[in-house]
Amino acid sequence: MDNVLIYCAYMAMAAFIAWTLFRGVKTGVLAGENYRYHRDAQPLGFALSFALRILVIGFCLAGMGHALGLNGDPMATLRKALGPFA
């Protein structure tokens, strides 16, 4: 696959997730298809969902850097870090 296409796909995914984060912080609700976490009612679920989305944005940024040739392959790094679990 072309590196520009990979870069654009990661950029679109990161932008969408960032938009959902900003919307969730503004409204106080992070929701998906099967869950809905309110900041006041379920603070732990809200925080964990927020943290997971931040991690996915970080992975998207690593993928974008790899597509531009700035860093190594993030999937290979994950496979190496997880060892027998991957």
pTM, entire model: 0.82
Say if 3 falls within a structural domain. Answer: no
Q: What is the pLDDT of residue 52?
A: 94
Q: What are 16-64's pLDDT values in tens digits?
A: 999 999 999 999 999 888 989 999 999 999 999 999 999 999 999 998 9
Q: If you search the block for the tokens 């900003």, which residue do you land on?
A: 22
Say if 68 falls within a structural domain. Answer: yes
Say if 25 falls within a structural domain. Answer: yes
Q: What is the pLDDT of residue 2?
A: 78
The count of structural domains within the chain is 1
Say if 39 falls within a structural domain. Answer: yes
The parent domain of residue 19 ranges over 11-76
Asked if 10 and 60 touch (Cβ cutoff 8 Å), the reply is yes
Tell me how far apart the alpha carbons of residues 67 and 84 are, in angstroms, rounded to a whole number: 27
78: tokens are 């994950």
Say if 19 falls within a structural domain. Answer: yes
Q: What is the pLDDT of residue 46?
A: 94
